[in-house]
Structure 1
């Protein structure tokens, strides 16, 4: 059984540690812990890994956030992975930092990356792991906030937070979405 795990973010060193790149960070943390590597391929950095009898295909789109759907659609077709085996890992400003929410489907909720995926897949019926980044910004400062780096107190907590998000992603693939939601949603 094959799964497509897509971490959303923006490429380039100026975005590396920003809140908007937390999807990339989750996949990078999994790669570091389990010894697989990403390589530059068409539209994305990709990696493959066998885990508990499952073939996991990881994607970090190089299309920038607002065009993430191009990479998702391409690798979904290329790897012949059904939509029910796709997990999109993304930041969520409507959840506090350190909170995770796995959902089987949903609206983009103002997230341009999810909106583009919805448009290109022509559905909202795919799983998404929303990684809370909080919303501690004043009116009109949302872009600066999501494209800003985590403050020092959150950076200290970030490794454990990314580990928990990685655990949710692996549980989605091995135990199913209902199990993962029951055991990890807060």
Structure 2
């Protein structure tokens, strides 16, 4: 599941770089990971964990339906929608393409895509924003998104640390990212990461980060 896949380079009809225009911005924050029933609480699915906590702590309890897809929303923040991608990490782009197309089909908005994902090369609990056009840097979920949608998205990286004993051995890395967080680590994520991600989204609502590109 975590093996490197031979993604082909091809143009996508959904590929676009977000730029400011005269329309109001709509920020779609999506999490990528693996199916919850089997991989709940694992490091590779930390994006799902943070998104779910954002829904609970930031009032995204309502549902907005567009072209058959359900997005979490908050009436006080109509410019932000949250969406958890279904399926496996390596298929993130394929599973995100249709909901993103549903967002792009709304002519009244200037849509911006923001991806929440795990990052091995950040210490546990650290958060970093990456610009549009950034490299996937070996992350298969991002590689899939770039194949199907392109590089026109911002990323919020959530540090999960790296098992020092594994170095970069693929099998050890795979075992580590599919392991579950301890209760103490989950508490650290809830206390420190969720507020930081919420603050970044608020900054994005003020048009910080979202139009930056490499």
| Same fold (TM > 0.5) | yes
Aligned partner of 1:151 in structure 2 is 182
Query: Aligned runs of 1:32-47 on 2, under 5 Å?
Result: 32-33=56-57, 34-36=59-61, 46-47=71-72
Contact 2:136 2:143 survives alignment (8 Å) = yes
Q: Which is worse superposed, 35-44 or 99-108?
A: 35-44
Deviation of 1:49 after TM superposition, in Å, equals 2.8
Q: Which is worse superposed, 161-170 or 3-12?
A: 161-170
Say whether residues 1:48 and 2:43 are aligned partners: no
Distance 1:71 1:152, change over 3 A: same
TM-score, normalised to structure 1's length?
0.81
Aligned partner of 2:27 in structure 1 is 3
TM-score, normalised to structure 2's length?
0.72
1:97 pairs with 96, 106, 124, which one? 124
Distance 1:176 1:131, change over 3 A: same
Q: Which is worse superposed, 80-89 or 34-43?
A: 34-43
2:144 pairs with 116, 120, 129, which one? 116
Partners of 1:26 and 1:86 lie apart in 2 by 17
Contact 2:60 2:73 survives alignment (8 Å) = no
The structure carrying a bigger helix percent of its residues is 1
What residue ranges of structure 1 are gaps of 5+ in the alignment?
A: 182-186
Deviations 1:23-72 (CA, angstroms, capped at 9, x unpaired): 111211111111515699999763233444x4322211112111111232
What residue ranges of structure 2 are gaps of 5+ in the alignment?
A: 1-24
Aligned partner of 1:184 in structure 2 is none
How many residues get paired?
177
Distance 1:44 1:77, change over 3 A: closer
Distance 1:41 1:70, change over 3 A: farther
1:77 pairs with 82, 101, 108, which one? 101
Name the larger-Rg structure.
2
Deviation of 1:78 after TM superposition, in Å, equals 0.6
**What value does the CA root-mean-square deviation take over the aligned residues?**
2.8
**Large movers: runs of 4+ above 6 Å:** 38-45, 81-84
